[in-house]
Structure 1
Amino acid sequence: MHRILSKTKGDRWIWLIVIMLCVISMLAVYSSTGTLAYKRGVGTESILIKHFFMMVGGVALMYIAHKLDYRYYAGISKMLMVVTIPLLFYTLAFGSHVNDASRWIAIPGTGLTFQTSDLAKLALITYLARTLSRKQENIKDVKQSFIPIMGSVCVVFILIALANLSTALMLFGVSILLLIIGRISVKQIAVVCLAGAVLLAGVIFLGPRRATYMSRVNTFLHPEKVDKDKSFQSDHAKIAIATGGVAGKGPGNSTERNFLPHPYSDFIYATIVEEYGLIGGLFIIVIYLFLLYRCIKIVTKAPKAFGALLAAGLSFSLTIQAFANMAVAVGLGPVTGVPLPLVSMGGTSILFTSVAFGIILSVSRHIDENEALKGAGGKEGAKKVVVGEILEVA
């Protein structure tokens, strides 16, 4: 165990958060997949084993991502954007249709599906962090800085929003936060927001899923005026939370898991609260808030703009997604298909969330190494710090 821990670097609290979320995920998924196992004609243990190996794969990717110097992600971001935009177009045109939405690409010969919006989130955040950090000297220049930034944000937003509006809105919000941190002027940010509002109106009123979006918003705002079939998911999520009480029904004793359509992904928080009560629900909230706190500390300590923007963007994305999932479960927002990061059962969501954690830990590792070198003093330590600073500028 000591040998394993000695090879992991970065913020130890974030590693602990990851371990806790993985344990919670295993317990919640095992408890909530009984109906899914019955429909597939398999045992619950087989689904749990598959989920376990997906978690192991995610942790392995996290380890690899945290060992790679975070400054190399600046170059990778350009390649990711070049790959992501065509993939989003391909998904809209030829992707697998589930619930009237084309969000997935089937991976030939594996039986697995790949959700391109997960890649798009990582690509856009890393690209914005790179662009904002490298354009600081002429950040007010419209042609050199603003147009490339606005174009990337709006293109990715519209391509995701046509099939997955909730994810697109969260990513757009994270992008605006990065623009604020990156010293983009208020006028330019207002222009981006206006462009986003126009695109959002077009998606809601003219997009291929306009009927679904309008129905979900109407169900959320006026649940008493719609058919019970339309409010079925939110109603049973509220029942699960209400019957959980303070201490919950106990692990494996959820009853609403048999009625909720996706108790292991979209509504896994409702299942957790039903089984572990208000205490369990608050514990999950505290974990994600503590994650945000640790990431903010990394942002404030990062010596260069790229590391700070990268850690800020990824941490905002993870926490906003987490609270969006929990808000839907408790009835504070319309029903969406947003998973709870590193807790909900899923494939690409777990893998890309793990990579995001790994990149944040890479930034933290770089900070720790710099502090250790500066603390050691001496000519050799000073030389290493200077080399690191030169690489950062390059």
Structure 2
Amino acid sequence: METESNNTATQKLPLQGAGGARALLANVKGDRWIWLIVIMLSVISTLAVYSSIGTLAYTKGVGVESILAKHVFMIVLGIGLMYVSHRLDYRYYAGISKLLMIITIPLLAYTLFFGSNINHASRWIPIPGTGLGFQTSDLAKLALITYLARILSRKQENIKDVKESFIPIMGSVCLVFALIGPANLSTGLMLFGVSILLLIMGRISVKQISVVCLIGAVLLAGMLFLGSRRATHISRVKAFFHPELADQDKLFQGNHAKIAIATGGFFGKGPGRSTERNYLPEAFSDEIFAIIVEEYGLFGGIVVISIYLFLLYRCIKIVTKAPKAFGALLAAGLSFSLTIQAFANMAVAVGLGPVTGVPLPLISMGGTSILFTSIAFGIILSVSRDIDEPKKVMVGEIREA
């Protein structure tokens, strides 16, 4: 009798575990295709980072496995944050956006003047006791997009009022750009471009948008000709347009990225067989797309491009079906930010743009970049929940009737 009861208890344990897994999956809401995209990008990231961190591990004097373990931990933590953020009703992010902006502006100012200076750029704030750095521009992207979505959705009745609507919008966009641009011009320009797209969607007049663009152009000119990194910015632009006149050191990264892509062929050299990873200084981050193409060929590159295009397609569907203006603007801004960043990174890798420090979302190795990208995905999923759940309620009401 005791043996039978023990067997019964043993049989119940797997069932209880399966029930817990089913309960967890039942709480996963939103667009299932976006969840699948996140999983696919995470798998690609793990493979590509593992293949490209050999030189980094040697330089730091640690094993490749320890760096990979930290990267996988950040991916898992990011998926956890995405799960939490997608469970929160997206309407709460309207209130959170004000708090984020209040925190972000002082942090950006502190980073610009007192942040860690790496590669002649002050972009990070060290986190005491962790050995990690916090890149404040990642928080700024999330804060500004949610804040603009909030203002544009709430000020539609007097959207053309200069004092009530235009000045707060123009001030927030230009201030964030002015604080990010001097140290991270590429990120600042992309965020400024996404902001302009949101202003167009939010029915801001052409005249007012032109004023914002004019002020942005003045700020850009100041950063290019008066900023502390003006020499770096100008040399990169000159190297892109006139490579024959540029110093070969300035072309080193771009040339080896092109070699990696050119030698990849259609199906690539195979996983872990990259040779250019030993030469590219940021093979695991800025130039990771070149490593993917080298190892998986043109086919692998097309797969990655298709995933980001499909992400944009799913997000556009969410934007068009969102019942509230805030949700539509929020999903649009975040999706534009992710996809523009992705294609900017890939364009640099194939030589279609000057060298920048923009990572490939959810694929490049990183800390705060992965975490805030995951939160952005979670917010988009939260907006998509608002589309799916009303349908389920309506179906339930019909059945009850």
- Inter-partner Cα distance in structure 1 for 2:399 and 2:230: 64
For residue 230 of structure 2, what is the aligned residue in structure 1? 210
Report what 1:243 is aligned to: 263
- Structure 2 counterparts to residues 111-150 of structure 1, below 5 A: 111-150=131-170
SS at match of 2:291: helix
Shift of 1:379: 12
How far did residue 21 of structure 1 move? 0.1
- What do the CA deviations read for 1:12-70 (whole angstroms, capped 9, x no partner)? 00000000000000000000000111111111111111101010000000000000000
Letter matched to residue 311 of structure 2: L
Aligned residue identity for 1:84? T
1:155 is matched with: 175
- 1:9 maps to 2:9: no
Task: Please list the CA deviations of residues 336-356 of structure 1 after superposition, one character each: whole Å capped at 9, or x if unmatched.
Answer: 000000000000000000000
Deviation at 1:7, TM superposition (A): 1.8
Match of 1:102 among 122, 143, 162: 122
Query: Which residue does the alignment assign to 1:370?
Result: 390
Please give the alpha-carbon distance, in whole angstroms, between the structure 2 residues aligned to 1:29 and 1:3.
32
Q: Deviations over 1:346-375 (max 9, x none)?
A: 000000000000000000012111121123
**Residue 11 of structure 2 corresponds to which residue in structure 1?**
none
SS for the counterpart of 2:249 is coil
Report matched runs for 1:167-186 at 5 Å: 167-186=187-206
Deviations 1:128-151 (A, max 9, x none): 000000000000111110010000
**Aligned AA for 1:338?**
V
Q: TM-score, normalised by structure 2?
A: 0.94
How big is the shift at 1:380?
A: 9.6
Cα distance per residue 1:199-219 (max 9 Å; x no partner): 111110111110000000001
Q: 3-state SS of the aligned residue for 1:341?
A: coil
Q: 1:277 aligns with which of 293, 297, 309?
A: 297
Question: Structure 2 residue aligned with 1:65, among 77, 80, 85?
Answer: 85
Uncovered stretches (5+) of structure 2, i.e. residues with no partner: 1-20
Shift of 1:224: 1.1
Distance in 1, Cα, partners of 2:270 & 2:258: 18
Query: C-alpha separation between the residues in 2 aligned to 1:375 and 1:185?
Result: 41
* Structure 2 match to 1:166: 186
Q: TM-score, normalised by structure 1?
A: 0.95
1:326 aligns with 2:346: yes
Write out aligned runs for 1:284-295 (5 A). Answer: 284-295=304-315
1:361 to 381, 388, 393: 381
User: Where does residue 355 of structure 2 map in the other structure?
Assistant: 335
Query: Which residues of structure 1 form unaligned runs of 5+?
Result: 382-394
1:314 corresponds to 2:307: no
How many angstroms apart in 2 are the aligned matches of 1:183 and 1:212? 37
For 1:327 and 1:237, locate their aligned partners in 2 and report how far apart those are by CA, in whole Å.
Answer: 11
CA distance in 2, matches of 1:321, 1:242: 23
Question: In structure 2, how many angstroms separate the alpha carbons of the residues matched to 1:271 and 1:231?
Answer: 17
Q: 1:347 aligns with which of 333, 346, 367?
A: 367
Q: Within 1, Cα distance between the matches of 2:233 and 2:390?
A: 48
Q: Partner residue of 2:279?
A: 259
Q: Distance in 2 between matches of 1:147 and 1:380?
A: 51
Question: Residue in 2 aligned with 1:196?
Answer: 216
Paired residue secondary structure (1:231)? helix
The alpha-carbon deviation at position 167 of structure 1 amounts to 0.1
**1:268 paired to 2:288:** yes
Q: 1:167-226 deviations in whole A, cap 9, x for unaligned?
A: 000000000000000010111111111111111111101111100000000011111111
Equivalence for 2:4? none
Output the amino acid matched with 2:144: L
The one-letter amino acid of 1:151's match is G
Deviations 1:268-324 (Å, cap 9, x if unpaired)?
Answer: 000000000000001000000000000000001100100000000000000000000
Question: What is the aligned counterpart of 2:254 among 220, 234, 258?
Answer: 234
The letter for the 2-side match of 1:231 is: L
1:224 — aligned with what? 244
Cα distance between partner residues in 2 of 1:228 and 1:199: 30
Shift in CA distance, 379/279, structure 1 to aligned 2, threshold 3 Å: closer
How far apart, in 1, do the equivalents of 2:75 and 2:293 lie? 22
Whether 2:72 is the aligned partner of 1:52: answer: yes
Letter in 1 for 2:118: V
Larger Rg: 2
Q: How many residues align?
A: 381
Q: Secondary structure at the match of 2:91?
A: helix
Q: Distance in 1 between matches of 2:251 and 2:280?
A: 11
- Aligned counterparts of 1:380 and 1:120: Cα–Cα separation in 2: 47
**Residue 50 of structure 2: aligned partner:** 30
Where 2:391 maps in the other structure, the secondary structure is: helix
Segments ≥4 residues shifted beyond 3 Å: 1-4, 378-381
